Amino acid sequence: MNVTITPAALGGAVTPPPSKSQAHRLIIAAALSDGVCRLSNVELSQDIQATLRCMRTLDADASADGTVIRGADLVDGFETPPPEIMDCGESGSTLRFLIPVALALKRGGRFTGHGRLMERPQEPYFRLFAEKGIAWSLENGVLAVEGRLTPGVYALPGDVSSQFITGLLYALPLLEGDSELVLTTALESRGYVDMTLDALAQFGVAAEYDGDRRFRVPGNQAYRHRDLAIEGDWSNAAFWFAAAFLGHRVDVEGLNPRSVQGDRVIGEQLARLTRPGPAELDVSQCPDLVPPLAAMAALRAGETTAIVNAARLRIKESDRLASVTQVLSTLGADVEEHDDHLVIRGRERLTGGVTVSGHNDHRIAMMAAIAATRCQGPVTITGAECVNKSYPRFWADYEALGGQIART
C-alpha cells in the first residue's frame, strides 16, 4: 500500500498502541507460567502475532486474540524440539528472546523470519553455543538450535543487542541450577533489560542485577500465573510527541508516566530540543527514538542537532542511519550521515513533492508521515503497511487527527 499525504495540521487526542516490548515479555512469561493468565490491552501487531504463534508451537495455549494464555507444561527430561519451524516474521525480539527459551523448554527448535531478520546479528548466541555444546546451523534462512542448556556462567557483550540478555534472563531461571550472566562490554538499551527484570518479577521470577555487568539468576524457578494489563507504548507515542513539537495540537493519552519503559526518556530528549542552541542527543539507551527525534531535529529551524552513539541503528529493520538520512534528505532536510551518528541542521519547512520508501521499516514510515505535515508539497510513502509491525492503527489514528491521506 502507498499512502499520499497532503500536508495538513493535526489536532486532537490520540492513544498510542499497547507497548510491543511489554507485550512480548508478558506473553512469553504467561506462556511459561504454571496456569492460566489473562492479559488485557493486547493488540495483534505483526510482531506480537509472531510471538504468540511461536509460543503456541512451544506448547502454550493462547486464545486467538492473545488475551488468555495457558502455560506450556514444563516436563523436564522428555522434551524434543518441535518439528514445526517457528516463523518470527520480522521481529528481532521474538527470535532473540525465544532461542534460549526453546532450548530450555524443548531442547531446541527451528526458526525462520522475513525481511532482514535472519541477517540481523546472532553472533553472541553462536559464541555461547560453541562454548556450551549447543549445536546450531543457519542454512537457507532457517536457524536450528539443539542441545541441553546447562546452568553456569554466560558471558556476552552488552552492546550488540540487549535482546540476547533478555532471552537468557527468561530461560536461565528454568534450569536446574544457578547461573550468572556476565557482560563483557557496557550495557546499551538498558531500559529494555529493566523492563525484562520487571516482567520476570511480576511473574514471581527472581534475577539480581548489580546495575553494571553482572546478573545472578537462581535456577529451579517457576513462573507464577498472573493477570496483567499491557501499558501504552512510549516508543510509538514519541511520533505523536514529535507532531506536537512540530506545532500540532496533539494530546497523547493512556501512557503510564512511571512506566519502566526506557523510551519514556522522550520527555527529556524533547526538552533538549526545545532549548535554543546546538543539541547533542545520546541514543545508546533509546535507539527506537531516533526516527521521531530526527524528524524534530530536521525542523528545528536554524539549530544543529547531533544524534550520537547510534551505530546499532544499522542493525534494525532497516539500516536506520541510512534510511533516516535518505528519507529526510529526500523530503528536503539537511542530514549528514556518519558511521555512528547523524548531524541534522534544522530548517523552517521541508519541500516534499516527492515519493519516499518506507524502507519496510515501521518507524521510518511513521517518521516520514510526521515530517510530511511540515512539507510544502504532498509526500507519497511506499510500502506504508509496514506500520503493522508495531502499530496497525497508525494510519487510522493519523486520519482521525485530521491527517490528509489517500491510499493507493
Ligand X SMILES: O=C(O)C1=C[C@@H](OP(=O)(O)O)[C@@H](O)[C@H](O)C1
Cell numbers representing residue 210 in the block: 548489580
**20 assigned ligand-binding residue:** yes
Residues in Cβ contact with 215 at an 8 Å cutoff, skipping those fewer than 6 apart: 165, 169, 180, 181, 182, 207, 208, 209
Compute the least distance from the CB of residue 304 to ligand PEP, in Å.
26
Determine which residue in the list 22, 45, 57, 91 makes contact with ligand PEP, applying CB under 6 A.
91
**106 assigned ligand-binding residue:** no
Picked from ligand PEP, ligand X, none, the partner binding residue 192 (CB below 5 to 8 A depending on kind) is ligand X
Picked from ligand PEP, ligand X, none, the partner binding residue 373 (CB below 5 to 8 A depending on kind) is none
**216 assigned ligand-binding residue:** no
Region of 130-138, 160-168, 207-215, 247-255 interacting with ligand X (CB under 6 A): 160-168
Cell numbers 548489580 correspond to 210
User: 400 — phi, psi (to 5°)?
Assistant: -65, -25
Cell numbers representing residue 29 in the block: 512469561
**Cα first-last separation, the chain:** 6
Cell numbers representing residue 49 in the block: 502475532
Residue 93 in contact with ligand PEP, rule: CB under 6 A: yes
337 contacts 322 by C-beta, under 8 angstroms: yes
Picked from ligand X, ligand PEP, none, the partner binding residue 312 (CB below 5 to 8 A depending on kind) is ligand X
Compute the least distance from the CB of residue 82 to ligand X, in Å.
24
Active site residue 87: no
Picked from ligand PEP, ligand X, none, the partner binding residue 264 (CB below 5 to 8 A depending on kind) is none
Q: Give the nearer residue to ligand X in terms of CB position, either 146 or 288.
A: 288
232 contacts 19 by C-beta, under 8 angstroms: yes
Determine which residue in the list 146, 233, 263, 288 makes contact with ligand PEP, applying CB under 6 A.
288
285 contacts 190 by C-beta, under 8 angstroms: yes
Determine which residue in the list 17, 21, 174, 320 makes contact with ligand X, applying CB under 6 A.
21
Radius of gyration of the chain (CA): 21
Determine which residue in the list 93, 179, 259, 373 makes contact with ligand X, applying CB under 6 A.
93
**Count of residues of this chain found to bind ligand PEP when the rule CB under 6 A is applied:** 9
The interface with ligand PEP within residues 20-79 (CB under 6 A) comprises 47
Compute the least distance from the CB of residue 170 to ligand X, in Å.
11
CA atoms within 13 A on the CB side of 336: 9
**319 assigned ligand-binding residue:** no
User: What CA–CA distance (Å, rounded) separates 408 from 405?
Assistant: 10
Q: How many CB atoms lie within 10 A of CB 177?
A: 11
User: 307 — phi, psi (to 5°)?
Assistant: -105, 110
Compute the least distance from the CB of residue 317 to ligand PEP, in Å.
6
User: CB burial class (10 A; 0-12, 13-18, 19+) of residue 195?
Assistant: buried
Tell me the helices (H) and strands (E) count for the chain, helix number first: 12, 22
**316 assigned ligand-binding residue:** yes
The interface with ligand PEP within residues 341-370 (CB under 6 A) comprises 363
Which residues are designated catalytic? Answer: 288
Residues near ligand PEP (CB under 6 A) are 47, 91-93, 288, 316-317, 363, 390
Question: Which residues lie near ligand X (CB under 6 A)?
Answer: 21, 93, 161-163, 166, 189, 192, 287-288, 312
